């Protein structure tokens, strides 16, 4: 994007598990190109972003009942909020089926992004 001066904004990154880790790495390196993120069940901690994340909205979710995920999510939440991002943390049930609550949570978050 920077090389070719593309202006594809707003960019929203979305990732689950290892994809969430990749999304967090992208935020850490290219935060200026990202307006929001949906991070679902990340598996690794996050390194500090290179720039201020003021104005970035992040939905960070972890699975219910996973102890080590809590520590990872807490570190990520702290890293993002210290850099200026607005973070919403949610615990989601361990289910492969999206329930009404999950759908409602995603709709509210996405509608808030594009007001």
pLDDT of residue 51: 84
Based on the structure, what is the number of domains in the chain?
Answer: 1
CATH of the domain at 71: 3.40.50.1820
The range of the structural domain enclosing residue 65 comes to 12-113
Is the residue at 93 inside a domain?
yes
Strand ranges (E), the chain = 12-16, 36-40, 57-63, 86-92
pLDDT tens-digit readout, 30-82 = 888 888 999 988 989 998 887 889 889 999 988 765 555 678 888 999 999 99
Tell whether 42 is covered by a domain. Answer: yes
Of 89, 109, 101, residue with least CA distance to 40: 89
For the beta sheet containing 86-92, the strands, ordered from the edge strand earlier in sequence to the opposite edge, are 12-16, 36-40, 57-63, 86-92
**Would 2 be classed as within a structural domain?**
no
Check residue 104 and give its pLDDT.
Answer: 78
Residue 25 lies in a domain: yes
Highest mean pLDDT among 19-23, 48-52, 72-76, 100-104: 19-23
The answer to whether residue 26 is domain-embedded is yes
Q: Are 112 and 36 in contact (CB under 8 A)?
A: no
Return the SS3 of 55.
Answer: coil
What percent of the chain has pLDDT above 70? Answer: 78
Residue 1 lies in a domain: no
């Amino acid at each position: 994007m920077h090389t070719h001066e593309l202006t594809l904004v707003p960019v929203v990154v979305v990732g689950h598990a290892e994809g969430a880790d990749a999304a967090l790495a992208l935020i850490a390196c290219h935060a200026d190109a990202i307006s929001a993120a949906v991070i679902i069940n990340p598996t690794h901690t996050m390194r500090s972003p290179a720039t201020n994340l003021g104005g970035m909205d992040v939905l960070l979710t972890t699975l219910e009942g996973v102890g080590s995920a809590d520590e990872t999510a807490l570190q990520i939440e702290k890293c993002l909020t210290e850099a200026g991002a607005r973070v919403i943390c949610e615990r989601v049930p361990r289910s492969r089926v999206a329930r009404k609550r999950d759908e409602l949570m995603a709709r509210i978050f996405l509608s808030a992004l594009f007001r």
